[in-house]
Structures are given as C-alpha cells and as structure tokens.
Amino acid sequence: MQPAEALGVAAQVAVTLAGFAGIVVVFRPRSVHEWPALDQFRLRLLLTNSAMPLASALFGILLLTFDPPPVAIWRWCSGLALVMQVPFIINSTTARKRVPAADFAAVSKAMFYIFSALGLSAIILQIINLAAWNLFWPFFLGIFVHLLAAIAQFVRFLVLPHEGK
C-alpha cells in the first residue's frame, strides 16, 4: 500500500470515529455537560484521538500533492505529530485531574498502561524519525496508535453502562 492510500484510509477512519462520537452523544439521555466527569473525559479522548490522526493524515496528503514531494516529507509529518502531542498530553493530564479519584478507580489499569506504553513508543519513534530516519512507517504508527485508542474509547462507550447522574 502506498503512503497516500494509507493516509486516505486513516483519514476516513478518523472521520468515521468522530461521527460515531456524535451518535453516542445524541443517544445519551442527558446533555454532555451533565455527564459524569469520567464519561466526559472518555469523550474528550475519543474526539481528540480522532482529530489528531485526521489532521496528521491530511497534512501528509497535502505534502504528497507537491510535485515532487519534499525530500524530508516524513520528517515534517513527524514534526507536526510531535507539535500536536504536547498540547494533547497537557490537556489530557489536566482533564484527567478533574475526574474524581473514586471514578478513575473504575478505569481499566491494563488498558491505561498499554495505551500509555504505545503512545510513549510512538512519540519516541516520531522523535527518531524527525531526527534521523525520514520514513513513513513511524509517522503512520503514530496515526495508528491514536486511531486504536479512539476505537477503544468508542467500544467502551458502547459496552460500559453509563451512570445516570
């Protein structure tokens, strides 16, 4: 599969997940602002983990439209991914602190640590790709990790019962 095809598919999946998030919101009995803090946090993760791969994929597609494509195309893409990661991590940490400790205790620790390890690995690979490699796969792995996290959050919305607070 060529990079343009892979990025196009990733963009489609990201848009689909964001659309599913909208469906989740519509069919919940209460407004988002009335949801428990943990559910709001999960929705934020779902939307952010859909938006970031979409932006990354679209940036990669934009650079591929240049004729000829820039020599350092995947370095630039990894650089953008890193620039987006910093606010994501800060925002997620801040939003996580708003979740009461008792509610956060219900979070699957295995899932939390697995996605933390995957995310950290993807960030490290972005740094290496930016500094040395200039390869497509580390950039795409970052997109893949975000989409995987978004899928996990979406499934949790469907499977886990919501609190009627």
Query: What integer pLDDT is reported at residue 164 of this predicted model?
Result: 53
Q: What is the number of domains present in the chain? A: 1
Full residue range of the structural domain in which residue 39 is found: 3-159
Average predicted confidence (pLDDT) for the chain: 92
Query: What integer pLDDT is reported at residue 32 of this predicted model?
Result: 87
- Residue in 42, 30, 44 with CA at minimum distance from that of residue 160: 42
Report residue 37 CA to chain centroid gap.
Answer: 19
Question: How far apart are alpha carbons 3 and 59 in whole angstroms?
Answer: 12
Note whether residue 164 is domain-resident.
no
Query: What integer pLDDT is reported at residue 165 of this predicted model?
Result: 47
Query: What integer pLDDT is reported at residue 157 of this predicted model?
Result: 82
Ranges of residues in the chain with a pLDDT under 70 are: 162-165
Note whether residue 25 is domain-resident.
yes
Query: What integer pLDDT is reported at residue 25 of this predicted model?
Result: 82
